[in-house]
């Protein structure tokens, strides 16, 4: 799977329409209901955390961890011979800020995914020396995003902190032989659009 670049900001007209629709929704909530209803007002406005793949069920950390692990495992049969170098997880409220040494002759492949409630995308920034690239990581995807990094100098992977949502980030750093590098061979320096 090729990584996708960070999405651009919403155009001003779209943001204005979104803001106005939110205001209209709030106005509807404050307007007294003319009809009769068997649902108590407190029950109509309960906020329930839901998981992206199954929006009818509450978001649960154990279920989220299993979905995220399946997304990381989805690439196991891609024909390459990855060797795990490191792995980890983090809560989106604390984010990720990890520096990897990247020694040796094999390429590095960072597989990363997220499973959240209320957040569709997280920002991953890869940095090595003066080179830096930002990417959007789609949360709840069935396959983890993959990023290729050549061996050599240390590099840093940072996932921005999100305090307004609930969720987790899982990542694995694998080594792969140079012949098994798929797509761009250096996602930090970038390979153009």
Nearest 5°: the CA angle 88, 140, 177 is 50
First CA to last CA distance, the chain: 15
* Distance separating alpha carbons of residues 176 and 19, to the nearest angstrom: 46
Which pLDDT score is estimated for 82?
83
Q: Are residues 152 and 169 in contact, defined by beta-carbon separation less than 8 angstroms?
A: no
Q: Residue 12's beta-bridge partner residues?
A: none
CB atoms within 10 A of CB 97: 13
- For residue range 69-81, what is the model confidence (pLDDT) as tens digits? 999 988 666 666 7
Which pLDDT score is estimated for 144?
95
Q: Residue 110's beta-bridge partner residues?
A: 147, 173
Predicted TM-score of the model (pTM):
0.69
- Looking only at the bridges linking them, the beta strands covering 145-149 and 83-91 are unpaired
Which pLDDT score is estimated for 180?
85
Which pLDDT score is estimated for 46?
31
Residue among 26, 72, 67, 25 at smallest CA distance from 50: 67
Token representation of residue 92? 């989106």
Which pLDDT score is estimated for 59?
85
Question: In which residue ranges of the chain is pLDDT below 50?
Answer: 1-54
Residue among 145, 144, 143 at smallest CA distance from 135: 145
Which pLDDT score is estimated for 57?
66
| 12 dihedral zone (left: phi>0; alpha: psi -120 to 50; beta) | alpha
Which pLDDT score is estimated for 154?
97
Which pLDDT score is estimated for 179?
86
Which pLDDT score is estimated for 78?
61
């Amino acid at each position: 799977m090729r990584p996708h670049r960070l999405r651009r900001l919403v155009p001003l007209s779209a943001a204005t329409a979104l803001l106005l629709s939110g205001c209209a929704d709030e106005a509807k909530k404050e307007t007294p209901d003319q009809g009769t209803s068997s649902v108590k007002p407190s029950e109509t406005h309960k906020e329930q955390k839901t998981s992206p793949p199954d929006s009818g069920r509450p978001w649960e950390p154990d279920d989220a961890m299993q979905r995220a692990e399946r997304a990381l495992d989805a690439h196991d049969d891609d024909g390459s011979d990855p060797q795990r170098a490191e792995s980890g997880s983090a809560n989106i409220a604390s984010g990720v800020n990890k520096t990897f040494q990247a020694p040796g002759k094999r390429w590095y492949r960072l597989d990363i995914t997220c499973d959240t409630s209320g957040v569709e995308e997280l920002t991953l920034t890869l940095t090595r020396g003066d080179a830096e690239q930002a990417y959007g990581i789609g949360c709840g995807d069935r396959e983890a995003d993959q990023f290729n990094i050549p061996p050599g100098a240390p590099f840093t992977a940072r996932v921005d902190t999100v305090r307004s949502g609930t969720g987790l980030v899982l990542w694995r750093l694998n080594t792969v032989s140079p012949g098994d590098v798929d797509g761009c061979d250096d996602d930090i320096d970038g390979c153009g659009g």
